[in-house]
């Protein structure tokens, strides 16, 4: 925060506003990369309406954008409140931090209780495309399967329904040899595990910062309130 209450707030608090803004920009960047990234858009475009992945895909993007805007707005309001010594702006900043906190807690709980739902929905999409290509029911699905193989750098899967060599020869990237290490289901799981671990870590950091922001804005509100009362103490008007 920028300090005008020199006796109550240290001037070094200004970088903390930048930290909140950087956190908001980081969440917005991660949401954009998740929404428009090649791996995620491929699966989203291929998935059926009955599959839960597309709903999760769009919900995560809009939630991340709204959360980032809320954190940036909270930081700007808190900074303006410090400069203008406004209790109203401070209360609005606290409300934004509280709103972000109320959104982050359900998101973290959902990630903990549905830890494999995203992975399972993506692998279900791959299974659907792969089996349709194996049964030669759609030439369009073959192009989609090739795109998935090229994006994830994998080659086919182990199928209990018969020989898959013909599918892999026609859809795997040139020069790749199918083996256990290139199984696409495993590659999708590993890719998503790393991504979701990073998302969960960012959620934890955001929760910590929002709690800190609520404490800081509360302190700022009381500081402005009591400093205003101190200015009036001992002043009298004689008529």
pLDDT in tens, 54-107: 899 999 999 999 999 999 999 898 888 878 878 888 889 899 999 999 999 999
User: Model-level pTM?
Assistant: 0.80
Range of weakest confidence among 56-60, 127-131, 222-226: 222-226
Highest mean pLDDT among 4-8, 82-86, 161-165, 234-238: 82-86
H or E stretch at 132: helix 117-134
Q: Which of 159, 134, 131, 129 lies closest to 144, judged by CA? A: 129
Cα–Cα distance for residue pair 37/220, rounded to 1 Å: 41
Structure tokens at 63: 């939630």
The residue ranges of every structural domain in the chain are 16-130+142-153+183-238
| Percent helix, percent strand, percent coil in the chain, to nearest 5 | 75, 0, 25
Contacts of 22 (CB under 8 A, 6+ apart): none
203 Cβ neighbours under 8 A, 6+ residues apart? 104, 107, 108, 111
Residue 3: partners with Cβ closer than 8 Å, 6 or more residues away = 9, 10, 11, 13, 14, 82
């Amino acid at each position: 925060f920028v300090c005008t209450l020199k006796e109550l707030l240290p001037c070094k608090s200004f970088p903390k506003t930048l930290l909140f803004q950087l956190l908001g920009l980081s969440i917005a960047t991660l949401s954009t990369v998740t929404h428009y990234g090649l791996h995620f858009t491929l699966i989203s475009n291929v998935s059926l309406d009955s599959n839960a992945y597309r709903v999760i895909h769009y919900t995560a993007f809009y939630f991340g954008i709204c959360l980032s805007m809320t954190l940036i707005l909270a930081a700007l309001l808190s900074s303006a409140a410090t400069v203008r010594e406004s209790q109203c702006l401070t209360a609005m900043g606290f409300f934004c931090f509280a709103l972000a906190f109320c959104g982050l807690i359900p998101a973290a709980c959902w990630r903990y209780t549905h830890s494999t739902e995203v992975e399972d929905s993506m692998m279900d999409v791959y299974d659907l495309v792969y089996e349709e290509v194996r049964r030669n029911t759609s030439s369009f699905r073959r192009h989609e399967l090739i795109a998935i193989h090229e994006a994830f750098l994998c080659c086919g899967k182990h199928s209990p329904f018969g020989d898959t060599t013909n599918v892999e020869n026609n859809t795997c990237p040139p020069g790749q040899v199918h083996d256990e290490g290139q199984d696409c289901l495993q590659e999708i799981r590993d890719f998503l595990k790393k991504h979701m671990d990073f998302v969960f870590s960012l959620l934890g950091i955001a929760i910590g910062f929002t709690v800190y922001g609520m404490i800081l804005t509360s302190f700022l509100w009381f500081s402005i309130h009591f400093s205003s009362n101190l200015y009036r103490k001992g002043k009298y008007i004689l008529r």
